[in-house]
Chain A
Amino acid sequence: MEFKQDRMSRQERMQALYNYQKPDRVPIFEDGNFFCMINVGYRLTDLYSNPQRAFDALIWTCEQYGWEPERHCSSAHAVLGTPDFGGRIKSPESIYSQGLSVEETAVQTEDDVWNLKMPDPKTAGVIPIRMEFSKLEEKAGMPVTFLARSPLCSGAEICGVERFCAWMHKKPELCHRLIRMGMNHTLEALQHWVDTFGAGKVYYQMSSPTESNQVISPKHFQEFALPYHREFHKRLRAMGINQFHFHICGEQNLNLPYLARLAASPDGWPHPSILSFGHEVDITNAAQYFPKDIILGNIEPALFQSGTPQPIYELCRKTIEKGKKIPGGFILAPGCGMPPRAPGYNVWMMTKAVHDFGWYD
C-alpha cells in the first residue's frame, strides 16, 4: 500500500510537539522493547545482557513500523529494586515470559528493612548493561534514556508488593524507609548518567504500576507516593534534568486530581513532559488534567496479543481522533508494554491507522 509522504523528519515531528506546535502527523511509539527483540529474531534475555542487540532491535523495528525511536518508551529499567538490593531475579526464558521476574525479594522481614544497605549506583543489577545501551543511544544522536520506578514502586520492589501493602497500615515506617532507600538509589544511579552524558542529554522515564488504584487507595497514594514525587522532581531539577516521561500505569483515575495539582505547581515536572496512560484512563480526561503535557497512549496491549486486526485498527482510529484534539499534543502507543509475541499484523494496525487518520492538515 502507499502511504502519504511524511513532511517532517522524526526529530522535527517531536520538536514540534515539544514546542506545542502541530506536527505533520501523529507520532507513534512502541512502548516496550520486548516486542522489538522477538520481532527481529532475538531472545528476550538479550534485552538484559546484550546492549547492542537491544539497540539494533529497537532501531530496526522502529524503521519497519515507522515508529519514533528517540524517547522510545523503554521497558528495560536501569534500576531494579530486587537485584540491586540483593534479591534474585530470573531471566525470561519461557515462551510465556515477558520480562524479568523476581525469584526472591531483597527484603523478607522487618529486620531486613532496618539492616538494608544502599547498593553501588554504578555496578548494581543491570545498571552497567543499561549504561552501555545509553552509550549507543548517545552515539546515534538520541537522548539517553534512564527508566526507573517511582519512589513508592522502587520501595515496594525491594520487599515485594504484597508485603509492602501489608505493612502500609501496620508498619508504615518500614514502607517509608524502603521508599526513601529506593528513591535515593535511583537518584544516585541517575547522577552516574548525568556525570557520564550531561544532564541535557538525559531523558528520564518513570513508571508507577504499584500506585494504581488496582493496588492502593488514593488516600495511600497521598501518603506514600505524592510527597516523594514532589521531592523527586525537586531533586531532578537540581540535577538539571528537564526531559521527563511519566508512565502513569494502570487504573489511576482516582490519583489523577492529586497528580494534576502537583503538575500545575512549581514542585511538579517540566512542561511539556510526556505522560503515558493505560487503557484504563481516557486520554481526553487525561488531557484535561494535564493540559501542558503531551499525552501518550493508550491502546490496550492485550488486544494486540489476542485481538484481530480490524477492531484494533478501529480502536486506533477512535483514539487518534480523540488525540488529535488534545491541545498539549498526542502520541499513539500501546497503553503499556507491547506484548512480545503479538502478531505483527495486529501491531501494524497502529501505523496503518496513523497514516489513514493521523495527519494534521
Chain B
Amino acid sequence: MNRFVEFQFYLFALLAVVSAILFVTRRNPVPAALWLVNVMFALAGLYVMLDAAFVGAVQVLVYAGAIMVVFVFVVMLLNLGRGEVGDLRALVPRLGAGLVGLALLANLLVAQRTRWPRLAPANAGDNAVAPVAGSLFTEHLVAFELTSVLLLVAVVGAVLLAKRRAAA
C-alpha cells in the first residue's frame, strides 16, 4: 500500500467524520447544508481511493451538485436561514480552516514531487466506466429501467405536492 494513498484516505475519512459532526450540531440549516456538501466531497474522495472513480464523479455531480442545491433552494424558499450569520468569523473555525488548507497544500506538494510508478499500457487503456456500465446494462437492466419509472413518479408527485391549490 502506497503511503501517500493511505494518508489521503485517512485525510478524507477524518474530513468526512468531522464535517458530519459539525453538520449535525449546526442550528441553522444553511451552514448544515454546506457541511453536508463537505461530507459528500470527502466521500467522493474516499470512493476514488477505493478504486471507484466513476462513482466518485457521480457523487460530486449528483449529490453535492444537484441534491444539495435542491435542499439549499428549499431552505432559501421557506426563508429558514436566519440567525448566526458570522459563523466563519470566530477564531476556532478560522484555525480549523487554516489547518485543513495546510493539509491540502501539503497533499498537493507531495503529489507534485512523488514519482508515480508507470502504469502498464493495458492498465491505462481501460477506463472506470466500462465495468460499471457492463454490469448495469446486462445484469441489472430491469432495475435500471424501473429507475426511469421511479423518476417519472417522483417528478409527477413533486409537482403535484408542491403545486398551489387553485381554489383553496
Answer yes or no: are A and B bound together in one complex. Answer: no
The chain A residues found within 8 Å of chain B, CB to CB, are none
